[in-house]
Structure 1
């Protein structure tokens, strides 16, 4: 692809929602909401492909992301990547805030390729991951005061799991390192270790520590399926959470540079079904969970 791309469409990688590590608007989601979620995904995917493009200059990436933002908000000309989401937002009376925050994350990706510490990484997740969950919850009419907090924790965890799984690819392909420098220094690991065929013991220690911290985020968000009013969305999130826990445990034990961490299709389905079954069994106790959550977790 040439560095003279004129639109975000020309930067598209061809990757779709079925290629993601976690389900995106699976058929658990009610048909009335799947279109709105897929429109959001497609818009965000277009921005992500711009940010990840290997030959575009950083300033050109930012320009193309600005064009997407202006098309979505109506400040600029129409863009085919923005129109489906723009229609969904208008039909549902939702703001463009969550999508625009994702574009802010992609602008960061265009100009920033290192992270100082855990807090720096979480601040990135606030833009790159948390708005995704918030948008899905808003589409379903869930109470933001109840569900945004645990959703933020799960979404940050999903993002970091992806970073850990792809740490070698991100470094080799885009010279991008999401592993915090503070954690690398703590274990005596070098950024150049990410370019090896196999992780060094020091890099494995870094990945293990970050996976353990990520498991803490998943623990924080574990209550989310029980807080959600929409049963189908509750089951979708339960499946995603269970898959994330298994992946996170895998990252504590396996080397993402040389070993496959992700599930096969059969294991993927069984793990997801386990999360769904557990949430269904707890569903009659949802009222009690809501009351306990409102009291800050106290019985």
Structure 2
């Protein structure tokens, strides 16, 4: 369910119809390049924001039927035109990456949900447009799945995010369960930490299950791919729970046997 830096993206999956692999790759490379600007290396924040503004300028050229300046955006422009892809999701992704540069803490879950709306949900929106399945109901299910995947990524990567100065756990939740930031820095998984993470994992699982009907709405290999993505996210949550929420020393990853389990759980559901 994850690929390199930009997770939650089913890139070049064997389940992806061949006709969609090129546009999916173009969207992925845009998202990964922008994500790398926000996260990688030791650039000052001002330079990161400037480079993301250059990406916005390239998107504007696509919108106004001008030729983009870079090969990355010329490839993206071709797919946007070929598949009539909406432009707002691309801008939303850039807004989220820019936010990562300047915002390191989240006061409450509402703030975090707003971030997920721009950092994760646009991916599902674009994929549904590629699938020609972008109905209001499908988009609502997709938003729930994508936000859940983003939360799952945060929960498995608490230590990694802290290492680059970010905490996505809502501050109000830390206070509610009596967890200090120093505890994250030291990797202390005591009773308070386990109670906090049980709460966050349950919230992510509930959100994922809210969106799960999408996997049965979509047809053929696309539907199977979606059910595998859902099963993968739930499997990571199961692994977090099995590790007693000690992701500091037992960061969950999907191994070959997990894919067997996920496939077995990916039969179409009836709702």
Distance 1:54 1:177, change over 3 A: farther
Q: Quick one: distance in 2 between partners of 1:186 and 1:19?
A: 31
Whether the 8 Å contact between 2:106 and 2:168 is mirrored in structure 1 is: yes
Distance 1:54 1:204, change over 3 A: farther
- Equivalent position of 1:131 in the other structure: 122
What secondary structure sits across from 2:265 in the alignment?
helix
What does 1:45-194 correspond to in 2, within 5 Å? 45-74=32-61, 78-172=69-163, 174-194=164-184
What runs of 5+ residues in structure 2 fail to find an aligned partner? none
Give CA deviations for 1:100-128 in whole Å, capped at 9, x if unaligned. Answer: 11111001001100001111111100000
What secondary structure sits across from 2:248 in the alignment?
coil
How far is the alpha carbon of 1:99 from its aligned partner? Answer: 1.5
Whether the 8 Å contact between 1:101 and 1:127 is mirrored in structure 2 is: yes
- Equivalent position of 1:250 in the other structure: 239
How far is the alpha carbon of 1:21 from its aligned partner? Answer: 5.8
How far is the alpha carbon of 1:93 from its aligned partner? Answer: 2.0
The Cα RMSD (Å) is 2.0
What is the TM-score when the length of structure 2 is the normalising length?
A: 0.90
How far is the alpha carbon of 1:34 from its aligned partner? Answer: 1.2
Distance 1:159 1:264, change over 3 A: same
Whether the 8 Å contact between 2:235 and 2:262 is mirrored in structure 1 is: no
Q: Quick one: distance in 1 between partners of 2:192 and 2:234?
A: 23
Out of 193, 209, 213, the residue aligned to residue 219 of structure 1 is 209
What secondary structure sits across from 2:72 in the alignment?
coil
What secondary structure sits across from 1:260 in the alignment?
coil
What is the TM-score when the length of structure 1 is the normalising length?
A: 0.82
What runs of 5+ residues in structure 1 fail to find an aligned partner? 1-15, 290-299
How far is the alpha carbon of 1:231 from its aligned partner? Answer: 1.6
Q: Quick one: distance in 2 between partners of 1:224 and 1:28?
A: 16
What secondary structure sits across from 1:82 in the alignment?
helix
Total equivalences in the alignment? 263
How far is the alpha carbon of 1:168 from its aligned partner? Answer: 0.6
